Structure 1
Amino acid sequence: RPRTVATAAMVFAAVLAGFAFRETEPILPGWSSPAVVLLIAGVAAGLVRYWRRRLSADRERLAQFQRDQDEAMHRAVEEERARIAAELHDVVTHNVSVMVIQAGAARKVMDVAPQRSKEALLAVEAGGRAAMAELRHVMGLLAAPDAEQPDAL
């Protein structure tokens, strides 16, 4: 449809130019004035069409670039989440393992060495507190809003 309108406008401009320049000297020697006007209009229409296509292609490339950037950012966030989860797992697993060993040792010496049992249970408590502190710290990092990307983590 736009091409039909443009063609009709060029023909109309050529007819108007023919009437307007009917009694005057040609703009270019050997060329009729309507032909020159039609040539200029055709070149202008071609340039407009070229620039519109180029602008459309540039917009599409920009949109694709933005989609790629968003995807890369999403991937980076997911990789960071996986890294944090693995680190959190390692810390908690280590602390819980130590607590289990110390609780088992406390159970074994409870009757024969109550003081050693008490020390082992205090170590279990300290390990549990350390694990909880580490969990709170990591969860605080995860909950802290990112200034550039509110839902980054």
Structure 2
Amino acid sequence: MFRYIVDLPDGGKPTPKRKFRSTEPENYEVKVDKEELKQKLTPLQYSCTQEKGTERAFAGEYTDLKDDGNFYCVVCDNILFKSGDKFDSGSGWPSFSDMAGQGTVKSKEDYSHGMLRTEVVCAKCGAHLGHVFNDGPKTTGLRYCINSACLNFKGEAKPGL
């Protein structure tokens, strides 16, 4: 069995004793109504953010994007990642070496698929984003592997254009 456990800068350290779905209530600033989200999001966005689904590798809108800007949660518009931290991991999903700021994402244990991984969720609304692994660039050693369907990109205006 594979085990992927990542120590995150926010101090969230997974322990094998807890289950994937905690019985502790999740307190997020933004409360989401599932029926409203079904109307707002595409089926893929809903599946990824609310049902912990994933998009096919190399099929996401932002996998190869190299523009300057920021990536936001498709559910609540919380800033999650900056383009300066995006890198090509070859995994088929957008990868980031760091979160946009302290506490913009949270980590949770994920025991699905026969291994222990670290799930990444939006800290503001709890939407599933992807997973984080400890095989990233030397700057942080982290690789946030995120579904494009969970993100909105807002590019930065270029002077003179």
Give TM-score scaled by structure 2 length: 0.16
The structure with more helix, counted as a fraction of residues: 1
Give TM-score scaled by structure 1 length: 0.17
Between the two structures, name the one with larger relative contact order (CA 8 Å, sep ≥ 6).
Answer: 2
The structure with more strand, counted as a fraction of residues: 2
